Amino acid sequence: MYVKSQSHKDRLPAKTTAVALAIGDIVYETSAGAWAKADADGSGTYPARGVVTRGVSAAAATAGIKPEVSSRALIAGYADSTFTVGASLFLSDSVGEASTTAPATATDCLQQIGYAPSATEAMFDFGSGKYTLVPAT
């Protein structure tokens, strides 16, 4: 994957991470103020705040190199037909990923994070980070 478009004004403050992060990973801010992969069904791993636009390896993260994270960016290079054109993108139950399928399990985080302008691109816009929890049935 690669960053097709982003604005410097959409870059979020530089923060450390304890894990490897790749371009396109969806992240949240931990209670310690670091970036980590977001997860719609993980306790305390949401709301998503941005998408990684410059990744770091585990070794680089350990050495204190910080990833670049943006609140709005166009990421291209997903596998062909990953997305349905025009579909909304949600924080996924799969760690660090986006999905066109909204989480449906009770107490999962339901957060729309963008849309798919093509089958291989994702336009992320995290806005205010608003989300709701899927209600228990």
Residue 75 lies in a domain: yes
Q: Which domain holds residue 107?
A: 2-132
Residue 104 pLDDT class (50, 70, 90 cuts): confident
Which residue, chain included where needed, has tokens 């093509």?
Answer: 118
Residue 24 lies in a domain: yes
Residue 81 lies in a domain: yes
Bridge partners of 123, per DSSP, are 74, 115
Residue 9 pLDDT class (50, 70, 90 cuts): confident
DSSP letters, 12-46, are PPP--BSS-B-TT-EEEE-TTS-EEE--TTSTT--
pLDDT digits (tens, 9 = 90+) for 35-67: 999 999 988 999 999 999 999 999 999 999 999
Number of structural domains the chain divides into? 1
Residue 122 lies in a domain: yes
In this prediction, residue 2 carries a pLDDT of 81
Q: How far is CA 35 from CA 12, 61, 87, in A?
A: 11, 11, 27
Residue 137 lies in a domain: no
Strand ranges (E), the chain: 2-6, 26-29, 35-37, 50-54, 68-70, 72-76, 88-91, 98-99, 109-110, 112-118, 121-125, 132-133
Residue 117 lies in a domain: yes
